Amino acid sequence: MAKILIVEDDVAFCQMLETFLKKKGFDVMISHSGNDALSKIKNNNFQIVLTDVRLPDKDGNEILKSVTENNPEVKVILMTGYAEVDLAVNAIKTGAFDYISKPINPEKMLQIIQKALESAKEISEKPKTVSTKSSNKVSESTTVSSYVAGVSDASKKLNDYIKLVAPTNMSVLIIGDSGTGKEYVAKNIHDQSKRVGKPFIAVDCGAIPKEIASSEFFGHIKGSFTGAVNDKTGHFEAANGGTLFLDEIGNLNYELQVQLLRALQERKIKPVGSNEEIKVDIRVIAATNEDLKKAVEEGDFREDLFHRLNEFSIQVPALKKRKEDLMLFANYFLEKANNELEKEVVGFSDDALELFQSYSWPGNLREMQNIIKRSVLLTQDKLIHTEELPMQMHTDKPEEKSNYGLFKNKNEQELILDALEEANGNKSKAARLLNIDRKTLYNKLKQYDIKL
């Protein structure tokens, strides 16, 4: 049982966190001041310290410094208000595991705690000569720590591209439908790069208000505009030495595109209100579910920025193109849902499995994760049945290409050639795509004189 210390001067909020974490099976102690926290840390073996940045007698950075010097195996997670994110980012550079912004999302907090425990376990299994700093990471959006590689041809191609580009410093443009796991791919590139152990800053470009976008990316100095009560570290400086992941890059307004291009070309930034430039060493990975080439043609996206970001592009396949990976992902999300909901569902009924295979998964991995979590919550059995699966799965019409019988004879040859191309000449896989047996496929190959 992992032991956690919560350091928070808001008594009611602290009790709420304590109750939540105890229900999740953790051994929890609380402290309402920095001095009391340091005393408890000295006399107990904690795995996690969850501390507010602002405390009555000390701040979270002082606790972090003490833990880093005296108990380096303990993972420190900071809780911050919106205006204190820059403080948390700086703290991570000096040894904090991660931070979570208030108001706290309990499930996100639980994910970060679980990642911290996994990280501590990995470190304990490594030789002592390996620096523990390599496992520290920062992300402004929580990502799943495990990466399901997949076994399908599409997944193998994706992973080959990741391995190829990861060790380089090239900018990468990740293209894929919504929910396909573009951020997981970006994080995997970072983890396989020479920048692993340095910050990984993930930014949702569509969630930043236009009015504060420059401040968010490049920071500002105190008094530079109304409301700038403190200096602020921007995303570029926070990612210095590491990777800046720009999700949904197509949502950036034109003015910010100009500023971003300049920063990438010169490798220098200037915080809002400052006359001094700051050198930055970052790798940029961008992602989009839009057609950026079309946006360039229509004048909505700068062509020079597009080429700067697109030194190497990776297409993340839709889930319907990764049928052989379906149950790998499904079982992973099932295990995750069991952990989060404290249930023990062991698998899926045969009818549910059949529905999984025939469904088109328009929402991709994100939809699958949500559906499985909902089904785990609903089921009263050890298996997930079709009754627990949502209505859209029952009414979804399978694509014609996946059902050989829907085609007229005049389309057979074209259909078979398409399936063989998608299967890279693998006849067994092509037969599965066509929903026929291999013998039938061999007969059709002979009939149409198709030679491989």
pLDDT band for 343, please (50, 70, 90 cuts): very high
d(CA 185, CA 193): 12
pLDDT tens-digit map of 260-288: 999 999 999 988 888 888 999 999 999 99
pLDDT tens-digit map of 282-329: 999 999 998 899 999 988 899 999 999 999 999 999 998 888 888 889
User: Structurally, what CATH architecture does the domain formed by 153-315 represent?
Assistant: 3-Layer(aba) Sandwich (3.40)
User: Could you confirm whether domain 3-135 is CATH 3.40.50.2300?
Assistant: yes
Asked whether the predicted pLDDT for residue 119 surpasses 80, the reply is: no
d(CA 131, CA 20): 33
Instruction: Choose which CATH entry (3.40.630.30, 1.10.8.60, 1.10.630.10, 3.40.50.720) describes domain 319-395.
Output: 1.10.8.60
Cis peptide before 103 (omega within 30 of 0): yes
pLDDT tens-digit map of 215-242: 889 988 877 776 666 778 889 999 999 9
Q: Residue 228's pLDDT is what? A: 67
Q: Residue 90's pLDDT is what? A: 67
Average pLDDT, the chain: 82
- CA-closest candidate to residue 447, choices 423, 421, 416: 416
Q: Average pLDDT in the 339-360 region? A: 91
d(CA 197, CA 380): 43
Q: Average pLDDT in the 40-57 region? A: 87
d(CA 143, CA 128): 28
pTM, two decimals, is 0.58
In this structure, what token pair is assigned to residue 71? 């108990």
Q: Residue 81's pLDDT is what? A: 67
Give CB contacts under 8 A, 24+ apart, made by 203-207: 203/140, 203/235, 203/244, 203/245, 203/246, 203/247, 204/141, 204/247, 204/248, 205/246, 205/247, 205/248, 205/249, 205/250, 205/251, 205/252, 206/247, 206/248, 206/251
What is residue 224's three-state secondary structure?
A: coil
Q: Residue 137's pLDDT is what? A: 35
Could you say which DSSP state residue 329 is in? H
**What stretches of 44-196 show up as alpha helix (H) in DSSP?**
60-70, 85-93, 106-125, 153-165, 182-191
pLDDT tens-digit map of 149-165: 788 888 989 999 999 99
Burial (CB count <10 Å: 0-12, 13-18, 19+), residue 337:
buried
Centre a 10 Å sphere on the Cβ of residue 446 and count the other Cβ atoms it contains: 10
Asked whether the predicted pLDDT for residue 134 surpasses 80, the reply is: no
- CA-closest candidate to residue 218, choices 227, 200, 231: 231
Which amino acid is residue 36, in one-letter code?
Answer: D
pLDDT tens-digit map of 361-413: 999 999 999 999 999 999 999 999 999 999 999 988 655 444 444 343 446 77
d(CA 126, CA 398): 48
Q: Residue 93's pLDDT is what? A: 66
pLDDT tens-digit map of 58-88: 877 888 888 888 888 899 998 876 445 556 6
| Ranges of each domain in the chain | 3-135, 153-315, 319-395, 400-447
Q: Average pLDDT in the 352-365 region? A: 92
Q: Residue 100 pairs with which residues in a beta bridge?
A: 79
Check for a shared fold between 3-135 and 153-315. Answer: yes
Q: Residue 24's pLDDT is what? A: 86
Q: Residue 406's pLDDT is what? A: 37
Provide the strand spans (E) within 209-364: 243-247, 268-269, 278-279, 283-288, 312-315, 347-348
pLDDT band for 126, please (50, 70, 90 cuts): very low
